[in-house]
């Protein structure tokens, strides 16, 4: 694999697992996240194994940060083949809790963050004549559960945006892939402020969650297809998830 891949939310969880897997497969990875120290550690690990990696601090709610991620890819490696939009948050809670600041934060990161990535990468993809948007969505948008209304809404908004972009891009220039993980061992729960919801999520994830590399394998599969093959959607979840 000789592709150049930029990844948001790359400092931990699915993003870090994807960076490691793709770098080991031969891709050059460009890592973006808010935590510089973790990014530097990941770059060092990849380079110690003979891989290619660079990193820049990225807050996906800031368009300039995402534009810099794309620019670093082009300046360092001459192009950008794939943008993996993985950054996301999930401070879930019952609607009656009226945690409007958390609703807004999910909208800003989960929807606007993806749009900022599309806006930054699309001109590069069009100039090159090819580019692939891979976006981490969620099974929460496929089965709506209590406490996940707003979170699922943001994920379904992204699913709709990607399908619209796909239908606008049937000239063969742009590919889109939506990957919906179920319970994965990540720090997803770190933003949940509702203690009862947090306890339930931690209990569920501890019992059935899968390794982030399971999702990373699906990213590798999607981007490793011949250019005339597009993997539109993938669902990756624990065998025992209801």
User: For residue range 25-81, what is the model confidence (pLDDT) as tens digits?
Assistant: 999 999 999 999 999 999 999 999 999 999 999 999 999 999 999 999 999 999 999
d(C-alpha 109, C-alpha 103), whole Å: 10
Average pLDDT of span 10-39: 97
Give the active site residues.
151
Nearest CA to 140 out of 130, 151, 125, 124 is that of 151
Average pLDDT of span 216-229: 97
d(C-alpha 5, C-alpha 95), whole Å: 37
d(C-alpha 156, C-alpha 172), whole Å: 25
Distances in Å between the alpha carbon of 40 and those of 17, 22, 34, 122, 232? 15, 17, 11, 27, 32
Structure tokens at 206: 């501890």
Between CA 127 and CA 137, with CA 131 as vertex, the angle to 5 degrees is 140
SS3 138: coil
Give yes or no for a contact between 118 and 65, defined as CB atoms under 8 angstroms apart: no
Q: Is 5 a residue whose pLDDT tops 80?
A: yes
SS3 83: strand
Establish how many alpha carbons lie within 13 A of residue 23's alpha carbon, considering only the half-sphere containing its beta carbon.
25
d(C-alpha 38, C-alpha 182), whole Å: 24
User: For residue range 123-134, what is the model confidence (pLDDT) as tens digits?
Assistant: 999 999 999 999
Q: How does residue 206 score in pLDDT terms, banded at 50, 70 and 90? A: low
Domains and CATH numbers, the chain: 4-235 (3.40.50.720)
Mean pLDDT is highest, among 86-90, 140-144, 188-192, for 86-90
- Residue of 190 and 55 predicted with greater confidence: 55
Nearest CA to 72 out of 137, 124, 37, 15 is that of 124
The predicted model scores a pTM of 0.94
- Residue of 195 and 93 predicted with greater confidence: 93
Nearest CA to 18 out of 136, 133, 100 is that of 136
pLDDT of amino acid 132: 98
Q: Is 162 exposed, middle or buried (0-12, 13-18, 19+ CB in 10 A)?
A: buried
Q: How does residue 143 score in pLDDT terms, banded at 50, 70 and 90? A: confident
Count the Cβ atoms, other than its own, within 10 Å of residue 19.
31
pLDDT of amino acid 191: 82
């Amino acid at each position: 694999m000789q592709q150049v891949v930029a990844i948001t939310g790359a400092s931990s969880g699915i993003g870090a697992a994807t960076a490691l897997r793709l770098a080991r497969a031969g891709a050059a990875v460009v890592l973006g996240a808010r935590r510089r120290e973790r990014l530097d550690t990941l770059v060092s690990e990849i380079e110690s194994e003979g891989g290619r990696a660079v990193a820049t601090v990225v807050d996906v709610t800031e368009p300039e940060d995402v534009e810099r991620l794309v620019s670093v890819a082009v300046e360092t490696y001459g192009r950008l083949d794939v943008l993996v939009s993985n950054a996301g948050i999930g401070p879930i809670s019952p609607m009656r809790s009226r945690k409007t600041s958390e609703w807004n934060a999910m909208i800003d990161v989960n929807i606007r963050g993806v749009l900022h990535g599309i806006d930054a990468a699309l001109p590069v993809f069009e100039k090159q004549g090819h580019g692939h948007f891979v976006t981490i969505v969620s099974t929460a948008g496929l089965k709506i559960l209590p406490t996940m209304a707003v979170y699922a809404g943001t994920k379904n908004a992204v699913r709709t945006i990607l399908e619209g972009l796909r239908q606008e891009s049937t000239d063969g220039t742009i590919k889109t892939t939506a990957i919906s993980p179920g319970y994965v061992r990540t720090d997803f729960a770190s933003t949940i402020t509702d203690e009862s919801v947090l306890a339930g999520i931690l209990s569920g994830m501890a019992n059935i969650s899968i390794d982030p590399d399971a999702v990373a394998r699906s990213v590798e599969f999607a981007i490793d297809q011949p250019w005339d093959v597009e993997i539109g959607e993938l669902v990756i979840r624990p065998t025992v998830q209801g």
